[in-house]
């Protein structure tokens, strides 16, 4: 054992050992990226299964139909007459209908300000008290007046009203059923859920006059389509990439696909052949949505409160009618009604690649962790490198006989590197503040202005640093080491919360591992140009061009998400990625030890 230790210690001194880390770090990135593409294979993904036995999905007869269809038609008539009216007028009418069913109703006002706009409205909700319950638990049925694309939910609202009337007749509910009719799909549900959990800012969002018990689940219906539909699209992405329990999705897949025979689609994959390319596409779309962390429907706001929620959207040309959709909801509610405790058995961290195939966190997390580990490896490597004596090549022969030379470490000058890293970190508050507080019209001009400043600023900063402090190579190594250490640390913490965002940022900032200061101006310029191509604003511009979106719209959505739903992706981009990028630019543009070289040349002359 001591011999092994001493040989390990001897290995530590070997100069070759210091050559390995950059390759190791590159390997980490490659393995991490390739890992992701292996996941859709049969060997790495698993079939979904229902984990919670109490759910018993598709085990009950559903009776929604028959005369309820006439009721639905009548409600549809009423709802159609309300299209184009104001929020309050709509709520007046809907409230009278719901109250007529014998449910307790209440309203809630909310106002949000974001990107120079005001989002205000009034939520209407009703509580169906459980005949067999004690008001300690509740399930929510949501229909927003407008969906996320601002189309009027012409079939969803009447269907929810009809279902409320139908549910009222049954005596088997053991959980209260809350009907929530919100004016829009994002702000309304958010205000309602916040207020339900008393987590709202009461200056902008009113408190709820009546409440029920702990929310156990929520289903939102987004039914815009007029004709008969083919199958159901499940939207399951929550705010900040949080997901509902997989059992809920499985139950709906089981009920809609198995019992009703209508099929289920995920992530806008309307035709899924369950082959590798389609699985990969589903998974990547899911990861992108998760990474952006935006709300994707009325259900999204529920998930951060640990209320499992999904939105159901009928799509396609088929022979299913509103009654079939109602039966899917009925079946799902019957399953949720069976729950003895909160959904907890199945997975909360998963990537779905088909309605019946998923990978769980244990399988996919290593890829993000490997990408994050690459930064840590480089940070440790640079720390070790910065501690070594900078022995000029000529003197290596002299020192070779002294075996203790390589273990001797030089004093590290930590102050300047720490100051640079702290400066780039604190500057990150500026773009974060600007892009979240500028009015909508000014967003695009500000963005282009920022893009310009962002390109010029590192050059200026680097110039200031080199002229004022003339940092040595060691200090540049330390700047990079600290900034990569922070980046690796933030990304590995983030990977546990939002895997996709961590993976995305990790891959985009991977070039930062390999930048280094160089003495030749050409490589400096090339390095700087390459880094600028992967800068946060440049990536934003490129992705806007790829998806044919307007940069201003993206920024507006981000600002709205920040203020309304509390999406933290902007913090990650500006306060984690951008400072690391800035520190990388300072390193690439750095001219280490210029003064020392000059001194040498002066001495020689």
Partner 1 sequence: MDGGKVTVGRTAALYAGVAVLRLAIFTLLPDLPDLLTGRVEISTPVTSFKRLQEGLFLYNHNVSPYDGGVYHQAPLFLPLFSLLPNALSYPIFTYFLYIAIDLLSASALWKIADSGEAGSSALFTSPRRERRWNGFIIAAIFLFNPFTVATCLGRSTSVFTTCAILHAIAKAVSGAPFSAMVALSFASYLSMYPLLLLPPLVLLCFDRQRPERANKSVVSFAASHVPVVFGVLGLLFGMSYLITGSWEFLPSTYGVQLTLSDLTPNVGLWWYFFIEMFDSFRSFFLAVFWLHLSCYVGGLSIRIRRQPLVVLTLLLGIFAIFKPYPSISDTSLFLAMVPLYRHVFPLMRYSFVIAAVIMYASFLGPAFYYLWIYAGSGNANFFYAITLVWGLGQSLLVCDLMFAVLRDEWELERPEMAGKEIRQI
Residues at the contact surface with partner 1, assessed by CB under 8 A: 2, 5-6, 9, 242, 304, 306, 342, 344, 348-349, 376, 379-380, 383-384, 404, 407-409, 411, 485, 489-490, 492-494, 496-497
In terms of residues, how long is the chain?
605
Among 356, 308, 381, residue whose Cα is nearest residue 19: 381
CB count within 10 Å of CB 521 equals 9
Residue 84, by phi and psi: left (phi above 0), alpha (psi -120 to 50) or beta? left
Sequence-ordered alpha helix ranges (H) in 407-472: 415-427, 429-437, 440-469
- Closest to partner 1 by CB, 51 vs 259, is 51
Q: Are 446 and 431 in contact (CB under 8 A)?
A: no
- Closest to partner 1 by CB, 93 vs 412, is 412
- Closest to partner 1 by CB, 201 vs 390, is 201
Instruction: Give me the least distance between CB of 348 and partner 1, in Å please.
Output: 3
Instruction: Give me the least distance between CB of 595 and partner 1, in Å please.
Output: 25
- Closest to partner 1 by CB, 485 vs 555, is 485
Phi and psi of 246, rounded to 5°?
-65, -25
DSSP 179-225: EEEESSSSHHHHHHHHHHTT-S-TTTBPPPSS--SEEEEEEEE----
Instruction: Give me the least distance between CB of 338 and partner 1, in Å please.
Output: 20
d(CA 21, CA 438): 43
- Closest to partner 1 by CB, 471 vs 488, is 488
Whose tokens are 């859709």? That residue is 40
Question: Encoding tokens for residue 85?
Answer: 């009216």
Instruction: Return all residues near 402 (Cβ < 8 A) that are at least 6 apart.
Output: none
- Closest to partner 1 by CB, 65 vs 406, is 406
Instruction: Give me the least distance between CB of 246 and partner 1, in Å please.
Output: 11
- Closest to partner 1 by CB, 7 vs 70, is 7
Among 535, 501, 508, 491, residue whose Cα is nearest residue 376: 491
Instruction: Give me the least distance between CB of 44 and partner 1, in Å please.
Output: 21
Question: Encoding tokens for residue 513?
Answer: 């591992």
Residues forming beta bridges with residue 113, ordered by sequence position:
118
Instruction: Give me the least distance between CB of 497 and partner 1, in Å please.
Output: 6
Instruction: Give me the least distance between CB of 426 and partner 1, in Å please.
Output: 13
Instruction: Give me the least distance between CB of 120 and partner 1, in Å please.
Output: 24
- Closest to partner 1 by CB, 285 vs 306, is 306
């Amino acid at each position: 054992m001591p011999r092994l230790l001493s040989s390990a210690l001897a290995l530590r001194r070997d100069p070759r050992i210091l050559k390995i880390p950059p390759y190791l770090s590159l390997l980490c990135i490659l393995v991490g990226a390739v890992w992701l593409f292996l996941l859709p294979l049969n060997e790495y993904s698993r079939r979904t299964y229902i984990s919670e036995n109490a759910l018993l999905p598709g085990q009950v007869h559903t009776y929604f139909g028959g005369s309820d269809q006439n009721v639905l038609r009548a409600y549809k008539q009423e709802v159609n007459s309300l299209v184009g009216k104001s929020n309050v007028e709509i709520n007046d009418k809907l409230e009278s209908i719901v109250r007529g069913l014998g449910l307790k109703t209440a309203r809630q006002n909310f106002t949000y300000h974001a990107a120079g706009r005001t989002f205000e409205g009034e939520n209407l909700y009703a509580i169906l008290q459980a005949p067999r319950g004690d008001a300690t638990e509740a399930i929510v049925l949501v229909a927003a007046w407008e969906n996320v694309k601002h189309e009027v939910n012409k079939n969803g609202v009447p269907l929810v009203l009809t279902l409320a009337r139908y549910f009222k007749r049954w005596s088997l509910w053991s959980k209260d059923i809350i009907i929530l009719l919100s004016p829009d799909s994002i702000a309304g549900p958010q205000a309602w859920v916040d207020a339900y959990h008393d987590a709202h800012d009461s200056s902008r969002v009113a408190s709820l006059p009546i409440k029920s018990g702990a929310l156990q689940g929520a289903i939102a219906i987004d039914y815009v389509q007029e004709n008969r539909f083919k199958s159901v699209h499940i939207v399951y992405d929550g705010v900040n990439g949080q997901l509902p329990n997989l059992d809920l999705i499985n139950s709906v897949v089981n009920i809609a696909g198995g019992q009703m025979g209508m099929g289920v689609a995920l992530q806008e994959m309307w035709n899924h052949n369950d082959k590798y390319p389609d699985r990969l596409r589903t998974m990547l779309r899911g990861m992108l949505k998760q990474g952006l962390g935006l709300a994707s429907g009325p259900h999204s706001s529920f998930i951060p409160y640990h209320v499992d929620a999904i939105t159901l959207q009928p799509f396609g040309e088929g022979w299913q009618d509103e009654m079939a959709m109602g039966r899917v909801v009925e079946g799902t509610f019957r399953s949720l009604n069976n729950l003895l405790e909160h959904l907890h058995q199945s997975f909360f961290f998963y990537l779905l690649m088909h309605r019946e195939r998923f990978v769980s966190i244990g399988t996919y997390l290593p890829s993000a962790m490997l990408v994050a580990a690459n930064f840590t490896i480089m940070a440790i490597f640079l720390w070790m490198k910065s501690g070594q004596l900078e022995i000029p090549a000529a003197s290596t022969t002299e020192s070779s006989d002294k075996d203790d030379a390589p273990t001797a470490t030089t004093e590290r000058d930590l102050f300047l590197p720490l100051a640079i890293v702290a400066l780039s970190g604190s500057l990150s508050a500026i773009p974060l503040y600007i892009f979240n507080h500028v009015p909508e019209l000014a967003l695009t001009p500000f963005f282009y202005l920022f893009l310009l400043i962002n390109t010029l600023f590192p050059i200026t900063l680097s110039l200031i640093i080199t002229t004022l402090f003339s940092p040595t190579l060691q200090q540049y190594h330390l700047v990079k080491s600290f900034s990569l250490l922070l980046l690796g640390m933030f990304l590995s913490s983030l990977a546990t919360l939002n895997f996709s965002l961590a993976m995305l940022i990790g891959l985009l900032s991977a070039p930062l591992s390999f930048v280094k200061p160089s003495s030749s101006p050409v490589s400096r310029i090339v390095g700087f140009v390459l880094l600028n191509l992967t800068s946060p604003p440049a990536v934003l511009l490129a992705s806007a061009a790829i998806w044919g979106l307007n940069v201003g719209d993206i920024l507006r959505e981000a600002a709205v998400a920040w203020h309304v739903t509390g999406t933290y992706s902007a913090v990650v981009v500006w306060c984690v990625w951008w400072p690391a990028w800035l520190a990388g630019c300072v390193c690439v543009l750095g001219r280490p030890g210029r003064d020392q070289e000059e001194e040498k040349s002066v001495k020689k002359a």
